Chain A
Amino acid sequence: MPDISTLLAILLPLFVTFDSEVSLPETDPDSVNSSFVMGIEDLIWQTGWDYASMERMSVMINTNEYGYYGPQPSFMLDGIPFEPGFFGVHYAQLFPLSLFRIENLEAFHGSGIRNGHPYQSGLMKLESEPVARGISLFGSGQLGHNSGEPGPWVFDPDKVTPNVERFGPWLDAGLSLRFGGWYAKGSLRHHDYLNFDEFIQTRIINMRGIPDENIWLRIDAVSTLGLMETGFLSDRLEIRLQGIKSDSNDFLFFQPLGREIPTGLETEQYSGFANVNIFKNVGIRMLYQQRNMSTRFRRNVFDFDIGWEKQQRIARGSLYMDWERIGLEAGIENELTDATGRQTVFKRLAIPSIFLHNRFTFHRSLTLTTDNIVRFFDDIRSLSSNTEIKITPVTGWGIQLSGVYKELLPEQSNPLENWINQGYDLFSHLDISAFIPAEIENNRLLQFSLANQIQLHQHWTLEMGLNYYRHLSLQIPFQRVLYDLPFSTQPGNFALYGGQSGERLAAVFRLHHQTTNRIRQTADLTYRTTLNGDHIYQQYWEMTPAIRFQYTALFSPYRDLELQLDVQYLSERTWPEFSRLDGQMNRSFHVQFPFKFFTYSNTLPQHLRIDVRVSKWLWQQRLRVALQLKNLLNNDYQTHPIGVREGFGYMSRLEIRF
């Protein structure tokens, strides 16, 4: 339980103000255009985060603070948190709603508290389309291809090549009812993804095969997810009861192993959420959630079985007050986690926490916001404290000054390594030799930000931000992968480098233009650099691009037609974990027509990607067709050194709703 010093630690920032978080990259609540959200990368595009993907269906995310292998962002749908992945890899098919039914997307950076939900490394807050009165139905089918298939030369041994990628079919359907304040909805998602990418298949074909038994593992990833939800919504009361269950046969990239493992993924989540307005501006929020996540053995040549089983129970309650000059939310949470799969000694993790959010508006041009979270584990505790000052010197000019001191327990920042230390016997089953410090330090980060928002003209807005990060102690997992000709990669020694420190600087420029609802365009330029730091620290950040430029233009000439142009430039990145593969051959010893091989590079060259999208409503907005032409320049770019090579492709979707 909290002692006096802890309470002081929470309350002190109310009076003394010098810490807070990044603020510039928060996206507009309505910035997502659901008609053009075709995959998980389209959601990440909206957030200002980086992603690396093995096969386009799953991503690892860098929220700018902890890199691809650090704490990952939280996800929330209609006020209820969910976890769409395993070991820091997030899957599109594990999102509990059809992507085209996302009404709003808000991305929050750093740590903080939103709607009674404390988060530690960014938050993707999604809102689904409101349930319509009466009975509603929807369905959709999505299908895509990537270029380079053999075509009519299938009979010509000199010209054919293996087929390449096929997306889909992805089938989504749902039913909803709403009578008065009561509603109920259910949806089912079935995704079939046939990964025929030549670069990937050449690399993993030996892993999929059991030569003695002449068995070849299927290369498709099939996933089914169901959601049931009921609740009551009124001005004073919001109650949601939700159940989600999914089952997938997939390939899971496991960073300590340095490659993917064919794995079955199973998730279950049951949630109860209530938001009660006791008085006009005073209310309470309550959440209880039980989440079970496990992996299932899927045949592979090594007989690798992760055998992961995790059960989590989260109970949270908060009281909030929201007046014009003062806003306050104080809450308490308890998180219980069991990982029983390969645990040799039973140990349950219990992490209680308390949190406090404050907002003071001293004057219409001066607002102070603080977020403080304290977590406890045994006799250890961690404090995350943010403070932000918003100043509006003149109309049309806003300044935000913020600072953060953030401390994460190893149970949060490095959960896998922590479980291994607690006796979860996983690495020996995967033949991974590992060095993990017996005591993993708390992850500590200090951060200062300055952001400016200037209304240049009626329709033009310019935002500029500067973020300084000082990692006082960052724990970096590192697997220097070995090269192996038949299997391309073999795990080397895995190590968790503790106590890494260094400094980073990021500059963000954003120009936004909007005229009514017909034209909206945004250009984002982000520059990041490592100022100094330990050797491993510096290497770690080479995996993320120093320069990222994104441009999006949405044009809706008529209410039933939308056109969108997306342009992205990423500068060169280097993944030191794969340095031993650099220049080595990715080849297969199996029959190929014609024989084809690739060369690995742990440096991903800079690339420019251009996408075009069109959507058209039909039948009085009951039917919508959407088409995305991806990577028009047909550049073979990668986001991960052993991941898929992107070429030109397309994705199409048909939606129907009644």
Chain B
Amino acid sequence: MKKLFLITLLLSVLGADYAYGQIAFERTRISITGHRLLTGNTILKNWDASNGFGLEISAPYVFGNFEAGYRYTRFDEFTYESSGFHSHYVFAGWNYSYIAADDLIFTAGLRLGNNFMLHNQDIIYADEYKFSREESEFSYELFTRLQLEMNKNTEFFITTSYNRTIFNIPFAAFYGTIGVTLKFQTPTWLKNFLQ
């Protein structure tokens, strides 16, 4: 019974892969996203995150999909004057899609990237120590996404993600994201570039 379950699971996964990503970089997905910070760790005591936007590009690889993207969020200060900052998250990642129904696709993946932060101003302590307004650190993200195919070339999706930037005091947050995706045959020049 256990073997049968494993074989069924394997076949279903393989089926999804071949159905969605038969040939590397055959089709390209471009998505425009809007997101909201749902909850987070201690950072929320000092800053208030605005809704943000982003851009994602992905293409099927032989197994799963490669993706790259950008996400912008503005954090306004609660406490420290002029400490607000712009967060620019640049990432690349890999995800895997499972066709749950005719027009419903479930995707899960991992993103690795850098969280670039730009504060409103530099700050100087004791007339001596200058802390730059530019700050950046490695940031990873785990996400799950539900995609609804509107037609052959368009999708609507909703994503939940857990993001962690590994500062000395780690910055962890859950985001909720919605987006619209345009799918098209990858132009030859782009396909050549990706291969």
Q: Which residues on the A side are within 8 Å of B129 (C-beta)?
A: 162, 591, 593
Which residues from 132 to 172 on chain B have a C-beta closer than 8 Å to any C-beta of chain A?
A: 132-133, 135-138, 165-169, 171
A contact residues around B193 at 8 Å (CB): 618-619, 623
CB of A156 within 8 A of CB of B80, answer yes
The minimal Cβ–Cβ distance linking B18 to chain A, given in whole angstroms, is 16
Residue in contact with B126 in the complex, picked from A161, A557, A591, A616, CB distance below 8 Å = A591
Contact present for B195 and A618 (CB under 8 Å): yes
Interface string of A148-190 (1 = CB under 8 A from B): 1111111111011111100000000000000000000000000
> Is the beta-carbon distance between B75 and A150 smaller than 8 angstroms?
no
In-complex Cβ contact of B135 among A151, A156, A162 (8 A): A151
Per the 8 Å Cβ criterion, residues 603-658 of A in contact with B are: 616-620, 623, 625, 627, 629, 648-650
Across the interface, A154 reaches (CB within 8 A) one of B112, B123, B194, namely B123
B65-79 interface bits toward A, Cβ cutoff 8 Å, 1 = contact, 0 = none: 010000000010101
A147 touches B135 (CB 8 A): no
- On whether the beta carbons of B169 and A159 are closer than 8 Å, the reply is yes
Contact B166 A152 (CB under 8 A): no
- Nearest B-chain residue to A558, judged by Cβ: B62
Contact residues in B for A153 (Cβ distance below 8 Å): 46, 167, 169
**Interface pair B135/A593, CB less than 8 Å apart:** no
Closest to B166 in A: A147
What is the bound-complex CA distance between A295 and B47, given in angstroms? Answer: 49
* Interface assignment of A560: CB less than 8 Å from any CB of chain B: yes
Q: Is B119 an interface residue (CB 8 A)?
A: yes
Flag whether A313 is at the interface (Cβ < 8 A).
no
| Complex: A150 Cα to B133 Cα, angstroms | 12
Contact of A151 among B24, B61, B137, B192 (CB under 8 A): B137
Is there contact, CB below 8 Å, between B83 and A154? yes
Query: Which residue among A149, A161, A617, A650 has the maximum number of chain B CB atoms within 10 Å of its CB?
Result: A149
Q: Which A124-155 residues have C-beta < 8 A from chain B?
A: 145, 147-155
Contact B171 A151 (CB under 8 A): yes
Give Cα A107 to B24, complex, Å: 38
Q: In chain B, residues 83-138, which have Cβ atoms closer than 8 Å to a Cβ of chain A?
A: 83, 85, 92, 112, 114, 117, 119, 123, 125-126, 128-129, 131-133, 135-138
Query: In the bound complex, what is the Cα–Cα distance between A29 and B137 (angstroms)?
Result: 37
Task: Please indicate the chain B residues that have their CB under 8 angstroms from the CB of A593 in the complex.
Answer: 125, 129
Do the beta carbons of B194 and A149 come within 8 Å of each other? Answer: no
Compute how far the CA of A150 lies from the CA of B137 in the bound complex, rounded to whole angstroms.
Answer: 9
Interface status of B43 (Cβ within 8 A of chain A): yes
Once bound together, how far apart are the Cα atoms of A617 and B25, in whole Å? 13
Smallest CB–CB gap between A519 and chain B, Å?
A: 15
What is the CB-to-nearest-CB distance from B74 to chain A, in angstroms, rounded to a whole number? 12
Q: Which residues of B contact A157 (CB under 8 A)?
A: 125
B-chain residues with CB within 8 Å of residue A159 when the two chains form the complex: 169
Q: With A and B bound together, what is the CA distance between A145 and B129 in angstroms?
A: 21
For A151, what are the chain B residues with a Cβ–Cβ distance below 8 Å? Answer: 117, 135, 137, 165, 167-169, 171
In angstroms, Cα B131 to Cα A145, docked, is 17
B43, B66, B81, B138: which contacts A650 (Cβ < 8 A)? B138
A629 and B168 CA atoms in complex are apart in Å by 17
Cβ–Cβ contact B166 & A156, under 8 A: no
Interface 1/0s, chain A 546-562, versus B by CB < 8 A? 00000000000110110
Instruction: Tell whether, in the assembled complex, residue B131 and residue A149 are in contact, meaning their CB atoms are under 8 Å apart.
Output: no
Q: Which residues of A contact B117 (CB under 8 A)?
A: 151-152
Complex interface: chain B residues within 8 A of A148 (CB)? 166-168
A161 touches B125 (CB 8 A): no
Q: Which B residues touch A627, using CB under 8 A?
A: 112
Kindly provide the distance from the CB of A36 to the nearest chain B CB, expressed in whole angstroms. Answer: 16
A558 to B114, CA, bound (A): 26
CB distance from B192 to the nearest CB of A (A): 6
Identify the closest chain A residue to B63 (Cβ).
A557
Q: Which residues of A contact B8 (CB under 8 A)?
A: none
From A153, A161, A618, name the one whose CB has the most chain B CB atoms within 10 angstroms. A153
Q: Nearest Cβ distance between residue B181 and chain A, in whole angstroms?
A: 22
The answer to whether A154 and B131 have CB atoms under 8 Å apart is: yes
Q: Would you call A591 and B46 a contact (CB within 8 A)?
A: no
* Residues in B whose Cβ lies below 8 Å from that of A161: 168
For the complex formed, measure the closest distance between the CB of B75 and the CB atoms of chain A, giving whole angstroms: 7
B108 → chain A, closest Cβ, in Å?
A: 18
- Give, as a whole number of angstroms, the nearest-CB distance from A611 to chain B: 14
Interface presence of B82 (CB below 8 A) = yes
| Nearest opposing residue in chain A for B129, CB measure | A591
Q: Quote the shortest CB–CB distance from B69 to chain A (angstroms).
A: 15
- For A150, the closest partner residue in chain B by CB is B168
The answer to whether A591 and B125 touch across the interface, beta carbons within 8 angstroms, is yes
B169 touches A147 (CB 8 A): no
- Residues in A with CB closer than 8 Å to B66 are 616
Minimum CB–CB distance for A301 against chain B, Å: 17
Task: Closest B residue to A625 by CB, please name it.
Answer: B92
- In the complex formed, the residue of A with least CB distance to B77 is A155
User: Shortest Cβ distance from A307 into chain B, in angstroms?
Assistant: 32
Which residues in window 447-470 of A have CB below 8 A to B?
none
Residues A155 and B167 in contact, CB atoms below 8 Å apart: no
Whether B167 pairs with A150 at a CB distance below 8 angstroms is yes
Q: Is the CB of B123 within 8 A of A155?
A: yes
Q: How far is the CB of A556 from chain B (nearest CB, A)?
A: 12
Contacts A620-B192, A627-B112 given; indicate if A152 touches B119 (C-beta within 8 A): yes
Ranked 8 nearest A-B pairs via Cβ: A151-B167, A155-B80, A155-B83, A147-B166, A591-B126, A148-B168, A154-B131, A619-B193
* 7 A/B residue pairs, CB under 8 Å, sorted by A: A147-B168, A149-B137, A152-B119, A157-B125, A159-B169, A557-B62, A627-B112
Instruction: With A154-B133, A618-B193, A618-B195 given, name 5 new contacts (CB 8 A).
Output: A149-B167, A152-B119, A154-B119, A154-B132, A156-B83
Q: Using CB atoms and an 8 Å cutoff, list the residues of chain B in contact with chain A.
A: 24, 43, 46-47, 61-63, 66, 75, 77, 79-83, 85, 92, 112, 114, 117, 119, 123, 125-126, 128-129, 131-133, 135-138, 165-169, 171, 192-195
